[in-house]
Each structure stands twice: as C-alpha cells, then as structure tokens.
Amino acid sequence: MWTAAVAMAAAFMAQTTSAQVPKPAPTPPPATAPGAAQQPTQQQGDDNPGPGVTTLKVNVNEVDLVFTVIDRKGHFVTGLQQQNFGLLDDGRAPIKVRQFAQQTNLPLRVGIMLDTSSSIRQRFQFEQEAATDFLLQVMHPADRAFVEGFDVQTDVAQDFTNRVDLLDTGIRRLRPGGGTALFDSMYKTCRDEMLTLKQDYAVRKALVLVSDGDDDYSRSLESDAIKMCQRAETIVYTISTNVGPSRDKGDDVLQQIADATGGQAFYPVKIEDVAQGFHNIEEELRSQYLLVYTPADFKRDGSFRTIYLQSLDPRFAVRTKKGYFAPKEE
C-alpha cells in the first residue's frame, strides 16, 4: 500500500517539477516559516537575514520540510531534483509543491544544550571547547544561536545572538553539578525558546543536545519532550557523552529523540570525538534540501500529521522529521 501511494506521490512530484523549481529573481518566492504555516509575527531584536539570503514570506496552510539525503556510506548527497522523491503527508500526496531547492543559506536558529549534571563533570571542559569551535564554524551573519546548561533546571547562559564571543562567554559560565532533568529541559527549551520564535521568513531551527541521555529528575516523559520539539518544528541532534565501545540505555534515548525530530545521534568512542560530532552536524546543516508544499485535506485542528518522504533511488536514504502538528484554530 505504501509503495503504491509513494509511486503516485512521486508521479505528482515529477509533474510539478518544471513549474515549481524556483529561478533566481529579485522578488523571493512565497513560502512559510518552518512547518505548517502560522500567522506572521516579527521577532524582536536585530534579526535581518542579511545580504544574499532568500527571504521567504509566510503563507497559510503550507509546510516547509527540511531534509537530508545520505548514501549507503553515510555521505551527504546533493544535487538531486524534485522528481527524485516521493512524498506523503498524512497518507496523501500534496496538492501543490511550491518550492524545491538545495538549501545551504537558510538562516539557522540553533540552541546548544549542554548537560551540566554531576555525571559528566570530568568531560565538561572538553565539551565546552567543542561547542565553541562548532559555533565558530557554523555561524554566518544571518544566523542566531543560544547556549543553555541543564541539570535539574535549565540555565540559559546566553540568549539568541550572532556574536560568537558572547556565546563563548555563556558556555564558559556553565558549571556542572546536580541531577539530570533531561526531558523537562527539552520540553521547556522547545516551548520557551523555539516555539515562540516567530518570523516572516523561513529559518532552520535545531537543538544540539550533548548528554549521556540519562534522566533521574524529570516530571515530563520522553514522549512529552519529543512532541514539544515537533510542535516547535525543531530538529534535535544528539551527541552522547557515554564514550566507549558499547551503548547503554541513555544512548537509546538520544537515538529516539533524534529520529523523531529528523536529526541524528552521534556516539563518540573517546571524548576527543565529541568535536567530530559537532563537525558532522555543521556539515549536515549546510547540506540540506528545502521542500515547500501545500498538503491535501489540511485541517487546522491541532492534530499530528505524519510525513513520509522517500528517495526513489534505493541507494539513498532520506532523514527528516516524522511529522508535525497542524496549527489549531483559536
């Protein structure tokens, strides 16, 4: 059933290719902020996307789908076209594909979440250094990031900014100690930092979570944290601090979080490999695609709508979020 449905969706995608692949023009094409469209609200502060960045206008009942394609060796695949994919939204092909593009310059909104519980005390300094190096590499003028530590509560050491020096200062301020409320922290961060981030142009929202995946303090469930990240249209990349040849229960938690949100989990064998995990995330964020489409039978009822995106070439795999929550009529 899925194979036939995807084939139909692929045929639709191929038919709309020539009409929907945008050409460079002074006036940017219409699209939405990431995810099912919401009413436009300008974020406060200095958030000009900067020169050379395509500004995408908000339009209702559209979905912005950011995704990554990899080959069998895990290498990023670029240069593919719309007709190379089949898409189902809630089991149906989209009504219209409005844009398909290799997306390397879409502004980033990135949160660095560092586990500051006592269990990672011996590894914490190296994680701080790796996080700063990541920000030095990934941050472009149009990008914004924030830094947060968490144990039994969250500590936003530096709110959204494009100044790496301020972000580095925030990272250096964090100190380890205490228990771990991982799920509560994820839930609160996506709710307060990401869900409230409303702009009139599209951005990629991502969290980089550095943790051992253990939780001994949260009132929220893992599923609660994942749903809030999905509502906030936020990809979560996880880097495990459980260095060693084998995986434990916390690593499985990190994998589930990444899979559900369209991110990836990294498992360093030694502490020095944490920096490589940050590097891999930076490379992926600059090797993604953007697909903007109008879903069929769309209802603004707050329901969860599944996404099934597949490469028609069996050599390639697609990594994207499992779905999104439709906005709810107020």
pLDDT digits (tens, 9 = 90+) for 33-87: 333 333 333 333 345 555 444 444 444 689 999 999 999 999 999 999 999 999 9
Residue 310 has pLDDT above 80, yes or no: yes
Query: Is residue 124 within 8 Å of 178, Cβ to Cβ?
Result: no
Tens-digit pLDDT profile for residues 77-134: 999 999 999 999 999 999 999 999 997 778 999 999 999 999 888 889 999 999 999 9
- Compute how many other C-beta atoms are within 10 angstroms of the C-beta atom of residue 294: 18
Instruction: Give the separation between CA 4 and CA 200, rounded to whole angstroms.
Output: 37
Residue 190 has pLDDT above 90, yes or no: yes
Question: Which residues lie below 8 Å from residue 105, measured CB to CB, with a gap of 6+?
Answer: 52, 53, 54, 140, 142
Identify the pLDDT of residue 7: 61
Instruction: Give the separation between CA 169 and CA 172, rounded to whole angstroms.
Output: 5
Reported pTM: 0.84
Identify the pLDDT of residue 17: 46
Residue percentage of the chain with pLDDT more than 70? 82
Of 221, 155, 219, 164, the residue nearest 193 (C-alpha): 155
CA dihedral 5, 7, 12, 13 (to 10 degrees): 120
Q: What is the DSSP letter of 29?
A: P
What is the number of H-type helices and E-type strands within the chain? 8, 13
H or E stretch covering 37: none
